Structure 1
Amino acid sequence: MVIPVVPYFDFVEANLAQRGELFGALARILDSGALMAAEEVAAFEDEFADYVGVSHCVAVGTGTDALGLALAAVGAARQDVVLTTPNASPVVADAVLQTGPRLEFVDVDASTGLMDLNRLEDRLKDDAAARPKVVIPVHLFGQCADMDGLEELSRKYEFLIVEDARQAHGSQARGRKAGSFGIAAAFSFSPEKNLGALGQGGAVTTNDPELADAVRQVRAQGLGIGYTGKVELADSQMDALQAAALRVKLPRLDEHNARRRIVAAVYDKALSGTGYTEPLAVLPGNTPNRHIYTIMIPDRDDMRAYLDEQGVGTGLYYPVPLHLHPRFRRLGLRRGDFPEAEALALTTLSLPIRPELTPDQVAMVIDAVRSFGGSMR
């Protein structure tokens, strides 16, 4: 087995620069003995809400819980339809189905992997189909969906927007941060995220005080009141240790995102327009946080094996679209139903992109990609 020269993740390196601050924050919590201190969690909630640009943040145990709690709090019930994209984490489908609504999909744009709003509007115009209560735009790999267009459609067709911002900490669309568009948004703070805890964590952001209160009640007791009555889910709380770690990391999030964008710009210049590799496109007006950097390549699996031999770690995101995933066969969907998502599942590969990458490491990744089969020399 080849030891990666450029690993895809490096959690030691990711926390090294702030190691002293993190130890100090954790020591403060340990010395106090208040491992579930509400004050520490509340302080993080205030700071993250201010960062996102919303009135309320409710910290919870995981990003999956955040999405499920947001859906429950807006009253998405068994008789309702929730629409999202099939090229997403199974977590999205799990959150919807566990909450109760019927899950349906809209295909994506081939160049960005984001929800195709033309296809969405075609679905919304279909008189024979049930009108969705909620649309979940997935801010894929840290790039916001077309939120201007989606907000316009939400007003026209009267659905709610619940953002899947679990990969989008600090991402922007026309100057507004992810998590500030919909009636609610779900974030994840698992360790690999741009803003990662030292374990699990999540949050719901919103400008709606009633929705925030509903999520807080369920978080604490597993029982609360949403817009349409009683909401029952397992309790989900963030502990003070995770909140303290996130408070240390939040002030440097923008700096780290900027470093990621520098790496992405180097990759873009080297790998765009080659006729062989092509990075996923960025929408005009968007500033992605570059959580994940993904290229499209015809023989993806061979490329991945080759890069592994060269000591370059890679990521493989959503090789099975949700409508074809074994866990969701009960939805009754088939191959060919969402062709763009299916094509991306077979051709996308993610390269290392971390704020700690050195120029030499970035050059090594590019050289390895270019040398694959000699096809890009």
Structure 2
Amino acid sequence: MPKPIVPYHDLAVADKARRDELLAAMARVLDAGSFMAEEEIGAFEDEFSAYLGAGNCVATGSGADSFRLLLTALGLSRPDVVLCVPNASSVVADAVLQAGPRLDFVDVNPATGLIDLNRLEDRLRDESKPRANAVIAVDLFGQCADIAGLESLSARYGFVLIEDARQAHGALAPADKARSERVGGEARKAGGFGFPAVFSFSPEKNLGALGQGGAVTTGDAQLAKAVRAVRARGLGLGSGGKVEMADSQMDCVQAAVLRVRLKGLDAANEARRAVAAAYDKAFVGTGYTEPLAVLPGNLPNRHIYALTIPDRDDMRVYLDEMGVGTGLHYPVPLHLHPRFRVLGFARGDFPAAEEFALRTLSLPIRPDLSQDQVQGVIDAVRSFGGSMR
């Protein structure tokens, strides 16, 4: 098999331009003589919350821990109900179940993969089902969910809105209907809408650490204080009592690295958007593949570039043979995942998410991709489409 000409991930090249700055930041940590220095972590929290316009940021050891800490700080436990989409990371389901609430799902818009607000409202109105106490809005592949619509539903039905922004560092969306036709401008960044949001800084993210890291952001100072309290205690309230949790402080090496990389986040996102624009131009309307739709007013950070393809598995094999790396994101919806059979769902319960999982393929999209590499990906996809005619 040929060596990939365009690997899906290539983390080694990401920081060549900032290598000296990163080494200086790590040396600063070494010179401080403490790997849990509050000053470094606090500086990152301040800088990230200012970047988002969030008001408050609590750094944690991982994105998964951020979910658990937040759910505990919100007081969500049995018999509360949390709604989410099925095409999300198992981290979400694990965090909800570990914190104690019951987990239920809402199907997606097949054009975007984001939560379908019509289906969500149908679920909220359904008196035969338990009332939803919280809704997790997943910013899929770096595009924000319909924030304005979700805020409106939250006000009407009284649920807590939580943003899963783990893929959306630097993405923008309008926070009200008046801004719905604008891109950027007065739109706000993911995690900066005021309601609580969760971030991950694992190495492959647009803003990634050298290892694991996460954060909770919120406009509510009291909620941020509660998250810090849970983080400091290292335990949370779960089903029927207390559930032990490991302490989840971010270490200052990761904080120092993130402070450096945050400076280049907007430029890196713009480079990703340029790649996505080239892909969009090449693939829209081909008849055999279609990019995911972007909501009016949204500006995704293009963390993942996904196509919907009827013969997804065949294309993946073909692109691998052509030297183009690909990714499969959430090929098994959470309601069908073996780990979550206990929830009692069956095939056919969320058909749009199931179809989305079967048809979605992710192409390489990194800020370091050269024009030749981008064209190589385009040519490979096009040649597969030509072979199917």
TM-score (ref. length: structure 1)? 0.97
Is 2:314 the partner of 1:302? yes
Q: Distance in 2 between matches of 1:122 and 1:146?
A: 16
1:1-377 equivalences under 5 Å are: 1-174=1-174, 175-181=187-193, 183-223=195-235, 233-372=245-384, 374-375=386-387
Q: Distance in 1 between matches of 2:69 and 2:135?
A: 15
Q: Note the residue ranges of structure 2 that are not aligned, 5 or more in a row.
A: 175-186
- CA-CA distance at 1:374 after TM superposition: 2.4
Q: Note the residue ranges of structure 1 that are not aligned, 5 or more in a row.
A: none
Secondary structure of the 2:15 match is: helix
Q: Distance in 2 between matches of 1:338 and 1:225?
A: 31
Paired residue type of 2:118: N
Q: Distance in 2 between matches of 1:333 and 1:225?
A: 26
Deviations 1:220-249 (A, max 9, x none): 2214799xx988633101000000000000
Secondary structure of the 2:216 match is: strand
Contact persistence 1:35–1:239 (CA under 8 A): yes
CA gap of 1:182–1:2, structure 2 versus 1, over 3 A, is farther
Deviations 1:14-40 (A, max 9, x none): 122211111110111112221110100
Range 352-361 or range 1-10, more displaced: 1-10
Contact persistence 1:218–1:232 (CA under 8 A): no
Q: Which runs of 4 or more aligned residues in structure 1 lie more than 6 Å from their structure 2 counterparts after TM superposition? A: none
Q: Distance in 2 between matches of 1:204 and 1:231?
A: 20
Paired residue type of 2:65: D
Paired residue type of 2:158: E
Contact persistence 1:132–1:159 (CA under 8 A): yes
Secondary structure of the 1:136 match is: strand
Identity %: 69
Deviations 1:196-215 (A, max 9, x none): 00000000001111111111
Secondary structure of the 1:58 match is: strand
- What is the root-mean-square deviation in Å for CA atoms of aligned residues? 1.6
Paired residue type of 2:104: E
Q: Distance in 2 between matches of 1:23 and 1:129?
A: 54
Contact persistence 1:57–1:206 (CA under 8 A): yes
Contact persistence 2:202–2:209 (CA under 8 A): yes
Q: Distance in 2 between matches of 1:225 and 1:204?
A: 18
- CA-CA distance at 1:263 after TM superposition: 0.5
Contact persistence 1:161–1:182 (CA under 8 A): no
Contact persistence 1:163–1:182 (CA under 8 A): no
Q: Distance in 1 between matches of 2:242 and 2:212?
A: 27
Secondary structure of the 1:318 match is: coil
Paired residue type of 2:143: Q
